[in-house]
Amino acid sequence: MWESESDAGAERGLVPVRGGSGRHDAVKSDGFVRRDQSWYVNSDIPSDFLVKVGDVSFNLHKYPMISRSGKMGRLIYESAASSSLDPDTTVADLDDLPGGAESFELAARFCYGMAVDLTASNISGLRCAAEYLEMTEDLEEGNLIFKTEAFLSYVVLSSWRDSIVVLKTCEGLSPWAENLQIVRRCSESIAWKACANPRGVRWAYTGASSGGRPPRSGGGGTASPRWNVGGGGDSKESSPSRQAVPPPDWWFEDVAVLRIDHFVRVVTAIKVKGMRFDLIGASITHYASKWLPGLTKDVANGGGGGGGVAEEPWAQVSAGGGLHMIIAGAGGKDDAATSAPAREQRMVVESLISIIPPQRDSVSCGFLLRLLRLAIMLKVAPALVTELEKRVGMQLEQAALPDLLIPSVGRAETAYDVDLVQRLVEHFLVQELTEQVSSSSPGRGGDPEYYSSSAAGAARMPPAGAASASASASSGLNAKARVARLLDSYLSEVSRDRNLSLTKFQVLAESLPESARACDDGLYRAVDSYLKAHPALTEHERKRLCRVMDCQKLSFDACMHAAQNERLPLRVVVQVLFSEQVKISNALAGSSALKAGGGTDGPFASSSSSVAVPATRRQLLDATPQSFQEGWAAAKKDINTLKFELESMKAKYLELQHDMDALQKQVEPSPAAGPGAKMGGGNKAQQPQGPSAWSNGWKKLGRLTKMTGAEGAGPGGHVGTPGGEAARKAQRRWRNSIS
């Protein structure tokens, strides 16, 4: 901790205070003497007032205590009125006195007129004890409340180190320190000094320092901050020394020794005073590394001045009960032994979540994920966990795979919490959609701080808005691509879990839009890993699993691997080969178009496309297993057979169309012939037989078509010409049936 500055060589922070005023000399004493657990006054007059504070007893006199403490006078009066055993000796129990026996000893010395040394370590307890004992100005001018309040205001609050020490000593004085505004005033004093311009702070060095940073107390040197109240940084004292400007994080180490509730008060006050949100986030991360060991990857155990904090008695509390010990014991049998540390850890985590700045990138995504892992293990409030999940979703593209592998807690079937990652992806997509909507809204050309109130600034806003919209769109695509790569790696990792259901895998793989992945190699790797870990999948389930990837987005290496992968369904392998063949055909067509166009891209493009593509096709076919090659040959033969059958059907259709035209010409009467010339010379009795003969003719023609369907296609699938023998026989039969 930074040491308080010296004032003209005197030891500041040690102020002797005397309570006697000359008119209370009836009881003369030379001091206090302790015997075991009892204090006695060196005086010739025997004590008549016994005060018990916890396990410690004080043998005092009534008159000095009554003269300066209103509570003591009231207790003595009530005890004398109610007790009839020994009216000369009064006993008072003060078990609830703030500050304990140490503070009461100092207050008793003050009542006897002895010198009391006020320091930053005892001032808060003594101030609360004076308030408890009602040592006000009504009893005597310059009483203990007045003097302790003056020391707090003029000595403690003007010193950085003293403010830290006093705030630390207030931890055991609740609610007295809160009610007397000691915590608030010290927090605001620390916040004001932390937010001060570093150029206006001069540092006094004693001894050697390393790393350009002032040495810590107890590390071989001292340093103390001094604030130039006038704001002038060009004084003659500081200009010759040419001291380096302290780093912006100079106050992190000192604030990290505070208890979590006081740290929250300090950070809240710093926020109000306008500190940069990234510095606030860095201070929260540093505090978590001290009080939650194992939460951050780079816990500074021996460097960066961490040894100075470890020497403090309150810093050893966090080092004694680490995060791993609590988590390991939380699921054990002796939950009663770890319940109290777990509650403390839970309170720290909940408080840190509540004070993280809302701005994006105020803390790293890795820190948020590790904090989320700990929050789930400690069963933090669901509302805070949901808020933390949203914060992670805001910057999910910055996450790393090890931080995303959060184990499941409770009765979950899978080893990792896949549902949690699904929620994180959903929060990310919602955030991306919100940013797109806000960037595309009219009249907003950027961040509010860049708005211009002038007419020229207003005229320039629409182009800036369009530029910001395009920039946000491109950044959104890049973020989605990074999240897609991260999700593919996560799927490859969790796919080895045999308890991971196909539905969860498929939903997580399809959670991102298709535009997020330019290449599906990572998704194919995850699918292959899932097939390897789940060999009992049916053919339908394997086909369903392979639907999550697009075969056309696979690279050449992935296609080579897929062509040899016997775990994939045959249909998927055929799709992979077909897509690769389409790519090769398109490449050949493009190269031929370039050659026909005169080689607009130069000889390099034509030579590379004409030489490399056929070799690629041969490599792809040679790398295909024999079983898949046979399957592909059978499938190709079936396709050719279907093509031949289609051609034969077309030929039969043309033949029938030709016959129908010929029949229509024969049946239709000519204009010169009278009605009934063809149909029995106008005999009305034969006219009803015309439609039945027509139907019989069509039925015979249909049977003829079925019979000639098999005969029409030869061994090669060719069909006879329309003028064949079968057509002539059908025509004669049709004429005979008509006649």
The percent of residues above 70 in pLDDT, for the chain, comes to 62
In angstroms, the Cα distances linking 143 to 103, 114, 134 are 15, 13, 10
State the amino acid at position 119 in one-letter form. T
* Residue 471, pLDDT score: 53
- Residue that wins the pLDDT comparison between 608 and 366: 366
For residue 41, what is the DSSP state? E
DSSP output for 582-642: HHHHHHHHHHHHHHHTT-TT-HHHHHHHHHHHHHHHHHHHHTS-HHHHHHHHHHHHHHHHH
Nearest Cα residue to 488 out of 571, 435, 415, 425: 425
* Residue 578, pLDDT score: 82
Its sign, for the CA torsion 138, 139, 143, 149, is negative
pTM: 0.68
Give, for 105, the enclosing helix (H) or strand (E): helix 100-111
Residue appearing with tokens 């020794």: 257
Structure tokens at 460: 């320039």
Residue appearing with tokens 């009219």: 442
Give, for 52, the enclosing helix (H) or strand (E): strand 49-53
Average pLDDT over residues 307-329: 34
Nearest Cα residue to 439 out of 459, 465, 461: 465
Distance CA 146, CA 127 (A): 9
Tell me whether the omega of the peptide bond preceding residue 448 falls within 30 degrees of 0, making it cis: no
> What would the pLDDT profile of 144-200 be if each residue is shown by its tens digit?
999 999 999 999 999 999 999 999 999 989 899 999 999 999 999 999 999 887 766
* Residue 597, pLDDT score: 59
Distance CA 478, CA 466 (A): 19
Contacts 24+ apart (CB under 8 A), 282-285: 282/249, 282/252, 282/363, 283/249, 283/251, 283/252, 283/255, 283/256, 284/352, 284/355, 284/356, 284/363, 285/363, 285/364, 285/367
- Residue that wins the pLDDT comparison between 64 and 25: 64
> What would the pLDDT profile of 98-142 be if each residue is shown by its tens digit?
999 999 999 999 988 888 899 999 999 999 999 999 999 988 888
Structure tokens at 46: 């025997």
pLDDT band at 610 (very low <50, low <70, confident <90, very high): very low
Distance CA 554, CA 551 (A): 6
pLDDT band at 595 (very low <50, low <70, confident <90, very high): low
* Residue 268, pLDDT score: 95
> What would the pLDDT profile of 453-473 be if each residue is shown by its tens digit?
333 343 334 444 444 555 555
Contacts 24+ apart (CB under 8 A), 704-709: 704/730, 704/733, 705/652, 705/656, 708/652, 709/652
- Residue that wins the pLDDT comparison between 578 and 278: 278
Distance CA 302, CA 300 (A): 6
* Residue 637, pLDDT score: 78
Average pLDDT over residues 344-353: 93
> What would the pLDDT profile of 498-534 be if each residue is shown by its tens digit?
999 999 999 999 999 988 888 989 999 999 999 999 9
> What would the pLDDT profile of 83-95 be if each residue is shown by its tens digit?
555 566 788 888 8
